Chains A and B, each alone.
Chain A
């Protein structure tokens, strides 16, 4: 026991010896990771279809919905990577807003989808959104960190939204399904308007 006390005393004495304290294990520019995380949240183009996608997945039941938690982030990651390899694909913004309308209508109709379709839709939307967010990177951006940030927020958002929608649906009362379907119709309406603006906006310039 005396040996333990001696060792403890020695440890504290050494720690107590004043010296400069400088430490941080990973002093990297993680700012771009958070930049990637925040970027999709700066407009409605990303969160709105993600929410609708999560509701659509929840409508399929937890056993199918859970595959979205893998498919969607993988799509985001690959999409972000594609934006580096082949930047400037012109139809992606149009595809993004078309997908908003499409998912919204699917939620409004409470479409039941087979598992491959759920996974495929998650991947496609992930690809489109990953690509679109990846386009925001500049030369000075750390690409890996930024794309990782986009993927992380996409994963966290889709997981939370799917879980919340699932929990909401598992409550008692048939009005819950109606409420979610109604929200889908709103998303569809926003998507259709945004789709139309894609054609109107260039003519105004």
Chain B
């Protein structure tokens, strides 16, 4: 990195130093509670009070009050009491009303003995199976994979800021192999920071992180405009370096989806792995769709005129600048 900085011209080095200073200043802002952050999922907590008997309550209430838990057939649900008898809390779980306003909800189960369990239900994965010991039940592990891969796909496809950044990179990088390298660098970087943030090794307060993510998109927009004017900027020259640097930030953003779930430590590494796989699937799908659309436009000769070539860059930059201002 130092060699890279040394190789830069005076103007670029000043820019990099300014960017680092801005990032440092952003990180210096003290962390605050995230009460303004809309709950991304509803969580129902079930505490075992006697053999097969539980008390249930929402620890994170649903946005839609009509959301209702659906328990295994042998369990009698008379809020707040749940009686599953001798068979205990095993069988299929679901939520009625999922998908309209909230796409993910979770059961957190605290048995009298043994570790707490978490079962995530999503619109894409509406039924999960509760088992006594997921650590030994292959079906439970498959369920975990299914749930978190879907959650990862869901998260990236709803994260329009991340998609806009990737779109900017695709717009910026013309060479096919450089694009592969750039997207790979972004992927590696956000995987690293996602893991680090999920395990609590690093952390950044919400507001400056959001603002910096928006700023990263503005930066890419500016670089596209410069490239259209014939000036090869930093991102056009070293797109993979820029993608890696900003990918670290975006990975911290991805971590939100996992850190708010309260997943037990025993399943966290696997949840993280499957979630990241889901994110990559969603990102790759987005990249392929964009590339396919670019191909299609060329095929029907529907390309922007010379004067309009910078419009997408201005659109990307303007949207991101708006987000930046809102978040700051």
Contacts and interface: CB of A to CB of B under 8 A. Distances in A.
Interface of A: 1, 4-5, 7-8, 10-11, 14-31, 34, 58, 62-63, 65-66, 69, 140, 156, 159-160, 162-164, 166-167
A25 B252 contact: no
B259 A22 contact: yes
Interface in B14-49: 17, 20-21, 23-24, 27-28, 31, 34, 37-38, 40
A23 B252 contact: yes
Interface stretch (B83-91, B168-176, B199-207): B199-207
Given A62-B300, A160-B296, A23 B201 contact: no
A159 B204 contact: no
Contact of B161 (A5, A25, A29, A160): A25
Interface residues of B, number: 57
A91 to B, nearest CB: 30
Nearest to B250: A23
A11 B23 contact: yes
Contact of B2 (A4, A31, A34, A164): A4
A55 B69 CA distance: 48
Nearest to B290: A156
Nearest to B323: A25
B96 interface: no
B145 interface: no
Interface of B: 1-2, 5-6, 17, 20-21, 23-24, 27-28, 31, 34, 37-38, 40, 99-101, 103, 123, 157-161, 197, 200-206, 209-210, 213-214, 252-253, 255-257, 259-260, 289, 292-293, 295-297, 299-302, 323, 327
Contact of B256 (A16, A24, A63, A163): A24
A62 B34 CA distance: 52
A22 to B, nearest CB: 4
A15 B26 CA distance: 10
A23 B210 contact: yes
A25 B327 contact: yes
B202 A25 contact: no
B293 A160 contact: yes
Nearest to A159: B296
Contact of B37 (A11, A22, A159): A22
B21 A22 contact: no
Given A21-B255, A24-B210, A25-B159, 18 more contacts: A4-B17, A11-B24, A17-B203, A18-B202, A18-B203, A19-B31, A19-B203, A20-B31, A21-B256, A24-B40, A25-B160, A25-B214, A27-B40, A29-B101, A62-B299, A159-B297, A159-B300, A163-B295
